[in-house]
Copies of this chain bind each other. A is one copy, B any other.
């Protein structure tokens, strides 16, 4: 790779696979900001969270190399993609990691299931400025055009300002026209009625994951779900330290 040293080095992945429209859009945008390396799963890996491949080995292969862009596909999960890229491909730490654009929302609790956000948390864990971009439209042909200028703007401003170690961004956009950007917090809520039960030809039950999201705080105006429901992009600073620091003193009073 002959990357110009003073351009930002940008690492890209997703969880919808290397041929998804969302990652093509994201790659085009990022090529205007820096030199790009894509390491994406070779097929859909939605809802893979931070899963790692441990029971069998993984591989990657180069798909394309041209001025300012090298693209690889990988047989593993999104988090495997980032680990492989950082350990086996890049010759210096990327200045920015972006994942997506995800076809579907990663707002609220979806962050803990999302393969896209898993890759972002992995970049963050590795000390890289990391941002996940998601559009609330699962369609393979989703229209990212309203979101595109905001993706470029958010990445640019993040490169200028940086983030504290251990903090990354979870950026979600509504479909259609966008009213602006809201800095938000992760909304509390829960998936319900999560399985469709069916019966196979020999009479055995099987279950497809499905469900509906219930917002536990629909009145709150500072959540990502509120922003999206009101036509705004939500930007949630998210972290890899899961410690409930505010509960530590309570636990110290438990009488073990």
Contact yes or no, A194 B83, CB < 8 A = yes
CB pair B241–A237 under 8 Å, yes or no, is no
Among residues of B, the one whose C-beta sits closest to the C-beta of A236 is B243
Secondary structure type dominating chain A contacts? mixed
Judged by a CB distance under 8 angstroms, whether A130 is at the interface is: no
Q: Are A87 and B193 in contact (CB under 8 A)?
A: yes
Q: Please measure, in the bound complex, the distance between the C-alpha atom of A127 and the C-alpha atom of B166, giving whole angstroms.
A: 26
Q: Report B-chain residues with C-beta under 8 Å of the C-beta of A205.
A: 59
Contact check, B244 vs A167: say whether CB atoms are below 8 A apart: yes
Q: Cα distance A5–B48 when bound, in Å? A: 37
Give this chain's copy count: 2
Answer whether residue A204 sits at the interface, using C-beta atoms and an 8 A cutoff. Answer: yes
Total interface residues on A, CB under 8 Å, equals 79
> Considering the complex of A and B, which 9 residue pairs feature the smallest CB-CB distances, nearest first?
A49-B49, A237-B247, A49-B50, A47-B52, A237-B244, A57-B206, A51-B51, A239-B244, A238-B242
- A residues with a Cβ closer than 8 A to B are 44, 46-55, 57-60, 77, 79-80, 83-84, 87-88, 109, 111-113, 115, 118, 121, 125-127, 153-154, 157, 161, 163-167, 170, 180-181, 183, 185-186, 188, 190, 193-195, 197-198, 204-209, 235-245, 247-248, 250-252, 254-256
Q: List 26 A-B residue pairs with CB atoms under 8 Å apart, sorted by A's residue number.
A: A49-B49, A50-B50, A51-B77, A51-B113, A51-B115, A57-B198, A57-B206, A59-B205, A83-B209, A84-B195, A84-B207, A88-B195, A88-B197, A88-B207, A109-B125, A109-B240, A112-B242, A127-B190, A164-B244, A167-B244, A170-B242, A180-B256, A186-B241, A186-B243, A239-B247, A242-B242
9 additional A-B pairs beyond A87-B194, A185-B243, A236-B243, beta carbons within 8 Å, are: A46-B54, A48-B51, A58-B207, A112-B118, A112-B125, A157-B254, A157-B256, A183-B248, A186-B243
